[in-house]
């Protein structure tokens, strides 16, 4: 039951991230292959990097090909959908990203803890799973990853991963831990979007 | 015999991709090390990423150092050659890329099938081996990977890998399968270059 | 004793590279997370790529979490320090890079030789450990990696790694080999900074 719950969550994360990749690709007027690559990179790039770093190879989508089909289907459906509706709401991309971030963060942290790694590694892996896909998407689109700039994005991922690790440490049930962690990430991220919150920016020429 | 055939093909792929890396590096006025890095990344970057994802580590060129020597020799010879001839034909880069793409696609698909992975994974690995090296080369050169934009490039790789997987499924001989797959990739790619074919571009502001 | 010596060296390399990442991140006005990512990528990115290629997974910092703490502490202290002093000497970044390069080069070459790989692989791994972190930092900052451009940087890394492999081949003591190799890298790099030495640049439009 728990495995199915995690699996469904993971698929939802892959779908929303794939859609966010499609949105970026269509803005850049990429061709269908470019769209599929950005969808794939955003959907499974973070988890692929996580698995390669942890030595959990072959990486997850090589073992379970469902991820490939889900990405291709999500990309195809969202391209069709973009053609039908003529305008695309501007707030959709950050919202999709927020959901994907919350889901991938706990999936990454949970996988690291399952493999027996320490809490700090689980937080790092949650964060890498959550943000690396979007970072590679931005790099391939010729942009400085927006995660690194001033919106509270990765900070929300770190909060969620930390909550998850704390819940795991105190041996709360996994469903409870996941819910708390996802709510933590989502609420911080959505507040940041809504009120345009940012972390302070440090600059060495600030005093000039 | 078959192994030798694949090995020689692979080396030809490494050489043509290394030369394409040198061409990009010299255009950007890089130093000898930059040239060697772009030659190496284009020549063995895709296969390195493929091996890391499949867990086939240490990656192939760590086990067989011939790849390192071939890349360094190709880079040195093509730099010397660029110095001797004063003008470089503009169509050479896309042609080299097309050959490298066709070869690396079947090498990647073949390696994935040999390791016992499924058809969709073999197609993905063929495509990654074929296009990832050039994508990293473009990233390191400060460009959006041209694969993602509108020329039929990766589509040719997917066609070739799919043909190879189909031939493998129907248990045709490997030489026959490779020839068919390479011809598929090469002919689609060269037609695309010659007639400036492109896949349709999807854009969400198309109707504005 | 030797292990402790290498470990302390490695930590110094991580600290100086993390600081160089912080310097780049603050120039780009990144937020605290962006600063931590650039510090981490510069500090442990090269070694992470090296370990993934060699199949030495889970990568080193997942096994020994000290690296995570050292990077976070270095980043926090250097951000605080940047706030206190109003101007930052311009020569510091290249000097830090030179030390990090010299240290990481021998660490990478030494790890490859310890795992039983050949001399050319050890040179490649020394060079990847030395330069890849800075290259990923530059990519994430939206710049063409400066390693690829005309300063003698990676060349110094290759010199150091080659010296180390030669010393290892002639069975000199490891401390002696490391000292020679580090001095080789450092002196070539610092001379290049001081006299603005560059390798010749090859360009295919040079004759135009």
The pLDDT score that the predictor gives to residue A203 is 54
Q: How many CB atoms lie within 10 A of CB C187?
A: 15
Using CB atoms, which chains have 3+ pairs under 8 A with C? A, B
Q: pLDDT digit string (tens) for B150-186?
A: 567 778 888 899 999 998 888 888 888 888 888 888 8
The pLDDT score that the predictor gives to residue B175 is 83
What are the distances in angstroms from CA B176 to CA B2, B163, B181, B182? 11, 11, 9, 10
CB distance from B196 to chain A under 8 Å?
A: no
CA distance A140 to chain C (A): 10
pLDDT(A144) > 70: yes
pLDDT(B82) > 90: no
- For an interface test with C, which of B32, B34, B93 has the most C Cβ atoms less than 10 Å from its Cβ? B34
Q: pLDDT digit string (tens) for B41-53?
A: 999 999 999 999 9
How big is chain B, counted in residues? Answer: 208
The pLDDT score that the predictor gives to residue A86 is 59
Report how far residue B175's alpha carbon sits from residue B177's, in angstroms, rounded to the nearest whole number. 5
A177, burial (CB in 10 Å: exposed 0-12, middle 13-18, buried 19+): buried
* A89 touches A95 (CB < 8 A): no
* B112 touches B125 (CB < 8 A): yes
Name beta bridge partners: C151: C198
For residues B26 and B152, the model is more confident at B26
Does C31 sit within 8 Å of A151, measured CB to CB?
yes
CB distance from C34 to chain A under 8 Å?
A: yes
Report how far residue A62's alpha carbon sits from residue B51's, in angstroms, rounded to the nearest whole number. 12
Q: What is the mean pLDDT of each run of 10 residues along chain C (208 residues)?
A: 83 89 83 85 91 88 90 89 71 78 90 89 90 87 75 81 89 84 87 71 47
CB distance from C8 to chain B under 8 Å?
A: no
CA distance B127 to chain A (A): 10
CA distance C83 to chain A (A): 7
Report how far residue B11's alpha carbon sits from residue B100's, in angstroms, rounded to the nearest whole number. 10
- For an interface test with B, which of C50, C51, C53, C206 has the most B Cβ atoms less than 10 Å from its Cβ? C53
Q: pLDDT digit string (tens) for B88-101?
A: 676 777 777 788 88
When pLDDT is cut at 50, 70 and 90, the band that residue A151 belongs to is: low
Q: Which residues of chain C does B27 touch, with a Cβ-Cβ cutoff of 8 Å? A: 203-205
Q: How many CB atoms lie within 10 A of CB C94?
A: 17
CB burial of A40-59 (b: ≥16 within 10 Å; e: otherwise) equals bbbbbbbbbbbbbbbbbbbb
CA distance C101 to chain B (A): 15
Query: Hey, is B106 helix, strand or coil?
Result: helix
CB distance from C76 to chain A under 8 Å?
A: no
Does A205 sit within 8 Å of C65, measured CB to CB?
no
> From the list B62, B139, B141, which residue is nearest C53 (CB)?
B62
Across the B:C interface, residue pairs with CB atoms under 8 Å apart total 96
CA angle B160, B53, C66 (to 5 degrees): 160
Q: Report phi then psi at C151, rounded to 5.
A: -80, 150
Name beta bridge partners: B151: B198
Q: Which residues of chain A does C69 touch, with a Cβ-Cβ cutoff of 8 Å? A: 120
Instruction: At B180, list the tokens.
Output: 């068919």
When mean pLDDT is compared across A61-65, A150-154, B128-132, the lowest value belongs to A150-154
pLDDT(B205) > 50: no
Does A65 sit within 8 Å of B121, measured CB to CB?
yes
* pTM assigned to the model: 0.88
- For an interface test with B, which of A22, A24, A26, A37 has the most B Cβ atoms less than 10 Å from its Cβ? A37
CB distance from B76 to chain C under 8 Å?
A: no
CB distance from A207 to chain C under 8 Å?
A: yes
The pLDDT score that the predictor gives to residue C206 is 42
| Residue with the two structure tokens 């020689």 | B8
SS percent in chain B: helix, strand, coil, step 5: 75, 0, 25
Is the four-CA dihedral B1, B48, B135, A44 of positive or negative sign? positive
> From the list A121, A144, A151, which residue is nearest C140 (CB)?
A144
pLDDT(B73) > 90: yes
When mean pLDDT is compared across A157-161, A186-190, C193-197, the lowest value belongs to C193-197
Q: Report phi then psi at C150, rounded to 5.
A: -85, 5
How big is chain C, counted in residues? Answer: 208
pLDDT(B112) > 70: yes
The pLDDT score that the predictor gives to residue C198 is 62
CB distance from C103 to chain A under 8 Å?
A: no
* C62 touches A117 (CB < 8 A): yes
CB distance from C149 to chain B under 8 Å?
A: yes
CA distance A139 to chain C (A): 7
Using CB atoms, which chains have 3+ pairs under 8 A with A? B, C
For residues C155 and A151, the model is more confident at C155
The pLDDT score that the predictor gives to residue B203 is 53
pLDDT(A152) > 80: no
For residues B109 and C148, the model is more confident at B109
Q: Which residues of chain C does A200 touch, with a Cβ-Cβ cutoff of 8 Å? A: 31-32
How big is chain A, counted in residues? Answer: 208
Does B145 sit within 8 Å of A31, measured CB to CB?
no
Does A35 sit within 8 Å of B202, measured CB to CB?
yes
């Amino acid at each position: 039951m728990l495995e199915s719950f995690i699996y469904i969550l993971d698929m939802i994360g892959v779908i929303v991230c794939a859609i966010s990749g499609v949105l970026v690709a269509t803005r850049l007027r990429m061709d269908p292959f470019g769209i599929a690559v950005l969808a794939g990179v955003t959907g499974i790039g973070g988890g692929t990097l996580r698995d390669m770093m942890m030595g959990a190879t072959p990486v997850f989508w090589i073992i379970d090909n469902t991820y490939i089909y889900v990405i291709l289907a999500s990309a195809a459906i969202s391209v069709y959908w973009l053609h039908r509706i003529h305008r695309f709401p501007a707030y959709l991309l950050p919202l999709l990203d927020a959901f994907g971030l919350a889901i991938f963060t706990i999936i990454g942290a949970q996988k690291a803890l399952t493999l027996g790694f320490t809490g700090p590694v689980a937080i790092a892996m949650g964060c890498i799973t959550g943000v690396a896909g979007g970072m590679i998407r931005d790099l391939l689109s010729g942009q400085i990853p927006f995660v690194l700039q001033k919106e509270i994005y990765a900070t929300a991922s770190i909060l969620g991963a930390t909550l998850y690790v704390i819940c795991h440490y105190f041996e709360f049930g996994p469903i409870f831990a996941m819910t708390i962690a996802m709510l933590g990430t989502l609420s911080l991220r959505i507040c940041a979007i809504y009120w345009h919150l940012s972390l302070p920016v440090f600059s060495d020429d600030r005093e000039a």
